[in-house]
Structure 1
Amino acid sequence: MIPAIETAPAMLLLWTAVGYLLGSIPFGMVLAKLMGLGNLRDIGSGNIGATNVLRTGNKAAAFLTLVLDGGKGAAALILARVFAGEDAAQLAGFAAFLGHCYPVWLGFRGGKGVATFFGLMFALYWPLGLICGAIWLSVAFIFRYSSLAALVSAAISPVAVLLIGRPDAALLCLGLVALIYLRHGANIQRLIAGNEPKIGKSKATDSAKVE
């Protein structure tokens, strides 16, 4: 369920801190400011992710936010893997996800973590990333709910790691699933109530898509 603990405790703490700091970089807000798009807190859902950046009308900024939010999770995990080990890598990856969702610079009010989740899945083990991505695309295509696609894809990940022979990553995936469901609480309520906006329907208050 977890990787073998082989890295010294001090190094594990170091890479946890590095992961959190990388994950807490609010690329959406940085790009919005650099490109003169305004304060994301005053736009749409007020979230810092790619969907809210897209509400500014700048597709390039939204795409860059999506890539960078995914990339920072992947970078944290890969760097820790290269310079320490798999135990440090998984801790750094989880810390990066925490950093994105709860960045200290923004009063612990961050994004929903979906882009960072996919970055982590591909960096952890690329077949796992492909599986999660395929599930997201399938659910989104059939039901037209981006939030539902993210929730289902995340929920499948702990099972997928067992099936593809990476049981050491199961606990990491379970932790990520718990945080994703926590961050999507409002979306889950709207899905149950039947008033969650579908993909392609733009609403100023919609926070349902990938943040």
Structure 2
Amino acid sequence: MKNIIFFIAAYLCGSFPTGVVIGKKFYNIDIREHGSKNMGGTNAGRVLGKKAGFIVSFIDVIKVFLPVLIAKQFLSFQAAAFVGVCALLGHCYPIFANFKGGKGVSSFFGIIFALDFILGIILLIIWKTLKHVTNYVSVASMTSCFIISFIFYYKYRNIKLFLVLILLSFFIVYLHRSNIKRLLSGTENKVNPNR
């Protein structure tokens, strides 16, 4: 029963539509009607500016990080990880935004940071490095999720958690299918358009 309460609470927490709320309240803009029409931090940054994009991304990480961190105090490590999965699903399919949400990258970061803060820092470094090298946020996001999943397994040797992280990584790739199509056609947005 305790697990179920945590799972539901995490989903509801993850469902908070950060990008939509910030866009409407402070900019009078619904970011779902602009750019990629996604409510995540990347689109918020493009539509509302870098500052807003950072704030949206940060809150999207925190709304998954906190439920997992709290769950670690009361549940098993694996159950806490599944709390993160529920929060991620809430972000991607939010009940408060007609089940149309973000692409799960910030949520994935929140899970890793809560489970192992050091690995969270490593994930951030990998992501920033790949973003700089590839010049594509989408490529950096998808690739870094897979890389940290293997690093996580190398450290903990927990096959169940590894499978959860790998499945989440594939799920994130699925949510980026429109980005993949644009990458293949050469129309994907670059971090630095002049490169």
**Both structures adopt the same fold (TM-score exceeding 0.5):** yes
Matched, 1:192 2:188: no
Matched, 1:132 2:103: no
CA contact (8 A) 1:97 1:116 kept: yes
Identity score, percent = 35
Deviations 1:163-200 (A, max 9, x none): 12252521321232122011001112222333322112
Which of 38, 47, 55 pairs up with 2:29?
Answer: 38
- Correspondence 1:101-112 to 2 at 5 A: 101-112=92-103
Greater shift after overlay, 88-97 or 28-37? Answer: 28-37
- The one-letter code sitting in structure 1 at the alignment partner of 2:166 is L
Change in Cα spacing, 1:18 to 1:155, as seen in structure 2 (3 Å) is: same
Matched, 1:150 2:145: no
Matched, 1:23 2:17: no
Shift in Å, 1:58 = 4.1
CA distance in 2 between counterparts of 1:67 and 1:145 reads: 19
TM-score (norm 2): 0.90
Q: Secondary structure at the match of 1:196?
A: coil
CA contact (8 A) 1:23 1:97 kept: yes
Change in Cα spacing, 1:56 to 1:120, as seen in structure 2 (3 Å) is: same
Aligned pairs, number: 193
CA contact (8 A) 1:16 1:95 kept: yes
CA distance in 1 between counterparts of 2:136 and 2:12 reads: 31
Matched, 1:77 2:68: yes
CA contact (8 A) 2:10 2:87 kept: yes
* Alignment correspondent of 2:154: 163
Larger RCO of the pair (alpha carbons < 8 Å, separation 6+)? 1
CA distance in 2 between counterparts of 1:126 and 1:32 reads: 30
CA distance in 1 between counterparts of 2:50 and 2:131 reads: 20
Point out where structure 1 has 5 or more consecutive residues left out of the alignment: 1-9, 203-211
Change in Cα spacing, 1:74 to 1:166, as seen in structure 2 (3 Å) is: farther
Deviations 1:73-131 (A, max 9, x none): 10110111123332331111000011101112222110011112112111111232122
CA contact (8 A) 2:6 2:83 kept: yes
CA contact (8 A) 1:15 1:88 kept: no
Greater shift after overlay, 185-194 or 52-61? Answer: 52-61
* Alignment correspondent of 2:170: 178
